[in-house]
Amino acid sequence: MRFMMNKQESNSMNNKQNELFARFPELSMSEIHGNTLYLESNASSYHTICKDLNGQLAFPLVSMFASDDRERTGSFTIHTVFANRQSGILISVALPVDPSTSAFPSLCELIPAAALYEREIHDLFGLRPMGHPNPKRLVFHGNWPKNQYPLRKEFPVNQRPDFADEKIEFTRIDGEGVYEIPVGPVHAGIIEPGHFRFSLAGEPILNLEAQLYFVHKGIEKLIEGKTIEQGFYFSERISGDETFTNSLAYCQAIEKIAGLQVPVRASFTRVLFAELERITSHLGDLAGICQDVAYGFASYQFKMLRGWCYRIADELCGMRFLRSVNTPGGIRKDFIQGKEETLTKLLAELKKELTETEAIVMHNSLFVDRIENTGILKHKIAVDLNATGPGGRASGVDFDVRKAFPYEAYASLTFEVPVQSDGDVSSRMKVKLAECFQSISLMQQVLEQIPQGIVREEIGILEPYRSAYSLTESPRGENIHYIMTGENNTILRYKVRTPSFCSWPALCHAVSGNIVPDFPLINKSFNLSYAGNDL
């Protein structure tokens, strides 16, 4: 079925567009595609437009990236994306950048969340954010040579650059008794690499700076020129424990470009798998929190329940990472047919055991005392950095992509978005526990309401140089994918912004004032992805 906006939705988008043009007469061109307004600014108006969108209209900055469009338009482009979460609309502001100057005005003094994006753009495209107070390298470490920018089209995908030898500078805190503790990138446990530089005065942490990108995979470069089908497999490998939600965002962007609405049975099935991935991730986080305070019983209870989720995944598709379930146009096969009774029984058992476990764990006063007031992320910082998902909701950020930008069958189902306000480890744990119950309820509703029918439509040939954004609510929060098609059903540009990209800086703020032994506990309560950040 081809996707068409109804008259009411079309009128709403046109009204929003007219409001923006009345407010910003400098905007020169626009396009409407689905729930996205594409606007184009120039260097003189860019700063003012972005400032007003973020400041006066309170639209958060949700993504920012560059594209090398020199062959088609003669310039680079900066794409700055804001979200009107009340109306479910994205506003993408394009700024052409002259290759002769390779510079654009920095936003980060007005919009703190822009700082990391601009450093990333500089590393990958060589475009300089003018006025950035700290344009330190973000993606590349001291061994990457200067003046080599891998996302420029002329950079060969198989080029192996010479090693450089540049010292990485970290923020230095001076004062009597202040000292540093470097941790990582290799850690004691079997986890991914990341370097953390603590500055302390006695026990309390004064500052934490994280150096990531030790597992940068070059996905955005590798996918250029690949077919739509090949690109799908890259999306599944962005982050192992968010395989489904990333492949779903990829598929939705492709389907949006194709103007395709997937079959209803496929949209219900996708909700079931997305919620299974969420509860599996949350139970692992809950087990980790309990393990880091030596609460063995609770940790093994949550690990056992996570194992039960793997039983459900095995029953559904025989794959705990949920790979090769999605496909552009729907899902690969009918994974639910004939398994409804077994799945219903497994979900009932899971809910019963989780209810009993929660009652025991959250009434253990010694445990509760350990997690309350630990690792507080303040509401304003969460908003400024666009921290979403359980980490944001535990600090009072009442936002969930499934409600603000409804996709698949979520609009047909009943669920609540748990929100806490204290911003500590306890709040993040409460949010994740409550979300586990919501996920079980959503999966049960899917099994009760899923209609019969086909599960896949053919995508066909996509028009070249068409683009789309897609949002999904991953276990860690707001997930945004952008795709522009090339010739012959290929990918020209693929940009992924996972929630971990926004939340790593939030974690650094949350540990301030705590002691170093609390860091693993606070870190586990966010459970951010290294692989999902190091694209």
> At 12, is the pLDDT very low, low, confident or very high (cuts 50, 70, 90)?
low
Predicted local distance difference test score (pLDDT) of residue 156: 95
* Local structure of residue 490 (DSSP, 8 states): B
At 333, list the tokens: 């096969």
Alpha-carbon separation of residue 281 from 187, 219, 273 (angstroms)? 21, 23, 12
Residue 122 φ then ψ, to 5°: -65, -45
Q: What mean pLDDT is predicted for residues 116-140?
A: 96
- Cβ atoms of 484 and 58 closer than 8 Å: no
Each residue's pLDDT tens digit, 323-334? 999 999 999 999
What pTM did the predictor assign?
A: 0.94
Task: Give yes or no for residue 116 having a pLDDT over 80.
Answer: yes
Q: Which residues contact 491 (CB under 8 A, 6 or more apart)?
A: 223, 224, 225, 226, 227, 228, 231, 483, 484, 485
User: pLDDT tens-digit profile of 375-431?
Assistant: 999 999 999 999 999 999 999 999 999 999 999 999 999 999 999 999 999 999 999
Q: CA 65, 70, 76: angle at the middle one, nearest 5?
A: 30
Whether 403 and 86 have beta carbons less than 8 Å apart is answered as no
The tens digit of pLDDT for each residue in 65-103 reads 999 999 999 999 999 999 999 999 999 999 999 999 999
* pLDDT score of 20 more than 80: no
Q: How many CA atoms lie within 13 A of 210 on its CB side?
A: 24
More confident residue, 432 or 189: 432
**Residue 1 pLDDT exceeds 60:** no
Tell me how far CA of residue 100 lies from CA of 103, 127, 145, in angstroms. 9, 10, 21
From residue 251, alpha-carbon distances to 156, 273, 356, 488 in Å are 27, 14, 38, 18
Q: Could you give the dihedral angle defined by the CA atoms of residues 516, 284, 390 and 36, in that order, rounded to the nearest 10 degrees?
A: 120
The per-residue pLDDT for 190 is 76
End-to-end CA distance of the chain: 33
- What is the pLDDT, as a whole number, of residue 7? 53
- The per-residue pLDDT for 2 is 44
When the pLDDT of each residue in the chain is averaged and rounded to a whole number, the result is 93
Structure tokens at 55: 């400041």
CA distances 527 to 284, 305, 371, 382, 478, Å, are 9, 18, 15, 16, 14
Greatest CA separation for the chain: 71
List, for residues 456-487, the tens digit of each pLDDT value: 999 999 999 999 999 999 999 999 999 999 99
The residues near 304 (Cβ < 8 Å, ≥ 6 apart) are 353
Alpha-carbon distances, residue 435 vs 278, 290, 296, 427 (angstroms): 8, 18, 23, 12
Instruction: Please give the pLDDT value at position 8.
Output: 57
**What confidence tens digit (pLDDT) does each residue in 219-239 have?**
999 999 999 999 999 999 999
The pLDDT tens digits for 276-316 are: 999 999 999 999 999 999 999 999 999 999 999 999 999 99
* Residues belonging to the chain: 535
pLDDT of residue 17: 64
pLDDT at position 189? 75
Block residue for tokens 């794959």: 319
Q: What pLDDT shows up at residue 340?
A: 97
Q: Which regions of 277-387 does DSSP assign to beta strands (E)?
A: 326-327, 330-331
Paired with 495 in beta bridges are 482
CB 36 within 8 A of CB 92: yes
Which of 446, 434, 357, 381 is closest to 410 using CA atoms? 446
